[in-house]
Amino acid sequence: MSEAVDDRISALKQTRLWTEIRKLKHDLIIRFAKRENRVYTQFYRFPHQLRALVERVVPALRPHGVGAEPLKILVFACCSGEEAFSLSYVLRRHFPELRYSIRGYDIVGDVIEKAKAGLFTLEEASWGPFVTDELLGEMFEPAGEGLLRIKAEIREPITFAEGNLLDRQFMESLGQADMVFAQNVLFHLPRSQAREAFRNIHHVLTAGGALFINGVDTDMRAQMTKQLGLEPLEYLVEEIHNDARVDRGNAWAGSYVGRKPFTRSGRDWLRRQATIFYKAR
């Protein structure tokens, strides 16, 4: 390209028009891109969301202390278990008296087997920007042959099994849970299936329970949460959004998994960007 063209493109990139073009490109990708399942996860993926869970959600669900009733937690699309293990670690650390059960489900048998084993290489365990040496030391113990095993007290409250969010009969068999996680999965489903999954997820959440739903198209998130009477938690919303942007950063416009920069303007900005919602009582 000639220097003059390069200069004009550089100048265009500094303008508001460029940002609007990128947003339009992203919106068209959201509307028309083919969705594909991806088996990918990390430990401690959204640290600010876990902080919101500790500082707001658990106290709201157990206002009189950790209580006698165990918290029932479902983690859909759990992949090889990193999300469920990170959650269990945080609950153990901050609420040592809390009783809870976590059930993780995924449609891919191989990742469920890996989750059940709870064994990871150092590379797998430390993948992702928020994993520190301190976290590794607190979550894992050496298991020989270069492998690390999730510590027993973190593993024990968790069970893993195959299960499909789109299987209504399976979903109805689960009963209702205080907290439901379905993260980074709905944006990989065709949009009509994502809506169906959203309704199934809502069905298994108890009244007053908390839904964690990062990784769903923002227009659908606003529309479905409104339709289903889910109320957003306005706490650390920008920080959680930015944790999720780490993956793609400034390359957000070219992919349906990219996240637009955070904004407090526009209709429904909170519903579009919040990742934690409460079901009406």
Binding positions for ligand SAM, rule: CB under 6 A: 37-41, 45, 76-77, 79, 83, 105-108, 111, 164-166, 183-185
DSSP string, 54-106: IIIIHHHHSTTSS-SSPEEEEEES-TTSHHHHHHHHHHHHH-TT--EEEEEEE
Residue (22 or 273) nearer to ligand SAM, CB: 273
Q: Cα 244 to chain center, whole Å?
A: 9
Nearest to 222 by CA among 270, 258, 184: 270
| Residue with smaller CB distance to ligand SAM, 74 or 233 | 74
Closest separation in Å from C-beta 77 to ligand SAM: 3
Closest by alpha carbon to 274, among 38, 87, 57, 40? 57
Q: Shortest gap between Cβ of 1 and ligand SAM (angstroms)? A: 36
> Residue 15 or 37: which CB sits closer to ligand SAM?
37
Residue with smaller CB distance to ligand SAM, 9 or 166: 166
Strands 158-162 and 100-106 turn out to be parallel
> Considering the complex, what minimum distance in angstroms separates the CB of residue 84 from ligand SAM?
9
User: Which residue number, 54 or 108, has a Cβ lying nearer to ligand SAM?
Assistant: 108
Give Cα 15 distance to the centre of its chain: 33
Q: Cβ 170 to ligand SAM, closest distance in Å?
A: 9
* CA 59 to centroid of chain Cα atoms: 20
Least Å from the CB of residue 268 to ligand SAM: 23
- Residue 182, strand partner residues: 76
| Neighbouring residues of 17: CB distance < 8 A, sequence distance ≥ 6 | none
